[in-house]
């Protein structure tokens, strides 16, 4: 087969890239829920309605990773006092205050946190996380299905209950190029647009949109925000950088 014909044989590449052996090394993303009582961070950041916690980012600091997270609709002093009193907490600092939410930087010992130990052992990449009174929602990326299976086994052995909602391979060719958006981000943004969330007047509320996505109000808001930022960075900002060059 000539090189050009080989290169443009779409069917060949589709079959190759979706082959089970190749799929094992292309990565997998999983959406799952964990009861807050089953892992140390969930117990530390225990909240009551209507308070919620949303991870903003994880910043590597030497051998440790410092999480930055938003806490919505809470009594600052009461929340901070309860967190600081926990024996595993090393430091908690306010970084930014914005309307009804506060951004915190947080350090704690993960030695007794079976869930985060499982993250570290299997090389899981934490993409999104949000905490609520009755559950925590996570979006994780693993390099293979084998790593995901190992992660689940580690959690089972440690008594950490996992409710897996969705597993998918983000790099399969049939998924197409989506400008850096993860599947949950695409789903949230496309559902919002198709149901008139950005129409004037708005045709669907945040609560109604959250129900369609089967996540919380705050998780919906944060997911849309991240989706818009990612889409902008991979389209408009990229074009601006090209022009600067």
Determine if the pTM surpasses 0.85.
no
Residue 160 near residue 121 (C-beta atoms within 8 A): no
pLDDT of residue 6: 39
Taking the C-alpha atoms of residue 148 and residue 54, their distance in angstroms, rounded to an integer, is 23
pLDDT of residue 151: 95
Q: Which of 7, 13, 9 has its CA nearest to residue 172?
A: 13
pLDDT of residue 98: 83
Q: Which of 38, 75, 78, 72 has its CA nearest to residue 55?
A: 72
| The two structure tokens encoding residue 173 | 């060719």
Taking the C-alpha atoms of residue 43 and residue 53, their distance in angstroms, rounded to an integer, is 12
Give 10-residue mean pLDDT values along the chain (245 residues).
42 48 62 93 86 82 76 84 91 88 89 92 90 90 90 95 82 51 85 92 92 86 87 65 47
């Amino acid at each position: 087969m000539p090189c050009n014909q080989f290169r443009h044989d779409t069917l060949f590449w589709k079959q190759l890239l979706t082959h089970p052996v190749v799929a094992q090394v292309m990565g997998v993303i999983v959406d799952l829920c964990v009861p807050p009582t089953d892992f140390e961070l969930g117990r530390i950041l225990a909240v009551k309605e209507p308070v919620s916690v949303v991870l903003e980012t994880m910043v590597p600091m030497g051998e440790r990773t410092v999480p930055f997270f938003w806490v919505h609709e809470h009594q600052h002093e009461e929340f901070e006092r309860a967190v600081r009193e926990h024996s595993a907490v090393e430091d908690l600092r306010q970084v930014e205050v914005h309307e009804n939410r506060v951004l915190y930087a947080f350090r704690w010992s993960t030695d007794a946190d079976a869930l985060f130990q499982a993250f570290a052992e299997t090389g899981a990449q934490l993409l999104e996380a949000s905490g609520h009174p009755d559950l925590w929602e996570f979006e994780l990326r693993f390099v293979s299905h084998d790593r995901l299976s190992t992660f689940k086994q580690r959690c089972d052995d440690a008594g950490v209950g996992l409710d897996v909602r969705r597993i998918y391979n983000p790099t399969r060719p049939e998924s197409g190029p989506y400008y850096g958006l993860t599947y949950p981000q695409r789903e949230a943004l496309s559902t919002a647009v198709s149901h008139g969330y950005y129409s004037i007047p708005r045709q669907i509320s945040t609560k109604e949109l959250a129900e369609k996505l089967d996540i919380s109000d705050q998780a919906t808001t944060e997911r849309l925000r991240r989706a818009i930022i990612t889409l902008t960075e991979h389209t408009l900002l990229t074009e601006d950088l090209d022009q600067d060059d």
